């Protein structure tokens, strides 16, 4: 995959615009590269991956049909990204990365063949102010929650570092499944799950720093998904 990256991102897959901030679904090659580039910088600065010539961080899961990647931009600059992976009959139960790694923990909590949404590869521009970082994190977790509404997903789960557990429990009503896992790459973390009653009908949770119409964004997702081909490729 070439390392050149464009600063222009098509408006075709914009899900939400709020002032200088915009939430995008990454389906085009250049948008995916921007997500992989900000991932690379975040994980490299955290010491969890080695340098590479492409200056991109991606893996085989990014090519799976059940994967969708989102990014947030501010004033046209990409500042955050997240990967979501659906585990359901819609995608013939294609495994996600954490289903592969923590199947027994999740099945013990949720039961076998329970449709789930994995949220991972969360990455930000390290120079963001805390206020902007919280807003970007809210955009990205909200994107995962809204995607879970498309196919009757029963829960969203994520692996996070221990210091972030109180935030996720308070802001997003996540519960602890396992407190000792490899959350992402070699990072030690906690496996959390947020259950569907919080994600359906009028129970979608909005932090005070978001001003988003959930039904409008969900309708936009449905519209985009209806035109997608079954599989995606990095390049």
* Tens-digit pLDDT profile for residues 66-93: 999 999 999 989 999 999 999 999 999 9
Residues 135, 233: Cα–Cα separation, whole Å: 29
Task: For residue 230, count CB atoms less than 10 angstroms from its CB and return exposed for 0-12, middle for 13-18, buried for 19 or more.
Answer: exposed
Alpha carbon 13 to chain centroid, angstroms:
15
* Tens-digit pLDDT profile for residues 163-192: 778 877 776 677 887 666 555 544 456 777
DSSP-assigned beta bridge partners for residue 73: 22, 78
Rounded alpha-carbon distances, angstroms, from residue 230 to 36, 92, 101, 218, 234: 21, 12, 25, 20, 14
Q: Which helix (H) or strand (E) holds 166?
A: helix 165-172
| Three state DSSP letters for 178-207 | EEEEEEECCEEEEEEEEEHHHCCCCCCCCC
CA dihedral for 53, 59, 65, 66, sign (positive or negative): negative
* Tens-digit pLDDT profile for residues 89-105: 999 999 998 888 888 88
How many percent of the chain have pLDDT more than 70? 78
Residues 132, 21: Cα–Cα separation, whole Å: 10
* Tens-digit pLDDT profile for residues 129-153: 888 888 888 888 888 888 988 888 8
Instruction: Tell me the pTM.
Output: 0.83
């Amino acid at each position: 995959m070439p390392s050149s990256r464009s600063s222009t991102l098509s408006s075709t897959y914009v899900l939400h615009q709020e002032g200088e901030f915009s939430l995008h679904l990454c389906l085009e090659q250049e948008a995916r590269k921007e997500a992989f580039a900000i991932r690379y910088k975040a994980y490299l600065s955290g010491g969890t991956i080695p340098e590479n010539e492409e200056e991109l961080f991606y893996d085989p899961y990014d090519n799976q049909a059940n994967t969708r990647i989102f990014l947030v931009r501010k004033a046209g600059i990409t500042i955050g990204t997240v990967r979501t992976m659906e585990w359901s009959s819609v995608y013939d139960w294609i495994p996600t990365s954490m289903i592969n790694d923590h199947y027994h923990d999740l099945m013990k909590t949720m039961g076998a063949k329970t449709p789930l949404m994995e949220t991972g590869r969360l990455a930000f521009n390290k120079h963001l102010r805390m206020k902007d970082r919280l807003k970007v994190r809210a955009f990205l977790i909200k994107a995962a929650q809204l995607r879970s509404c498309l196919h009757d997903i029963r829960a969203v789960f994520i692996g996070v570092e221990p210091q972030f557990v109180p935030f996720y429990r308070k802001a997003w009503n996540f519960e602890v499944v396992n407190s000792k896992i490899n959350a992402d790459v070699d990072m030690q973390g906690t496996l959390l799950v947020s259950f569907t009653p919080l994600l359906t009908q009028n129970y979608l949770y909005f932090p005070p720093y978001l001003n988003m119409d959930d039904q409008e964004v969900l309708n936009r997702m449905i519209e985009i998904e209806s035109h997608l081909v079954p599989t995606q490729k990095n390049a």
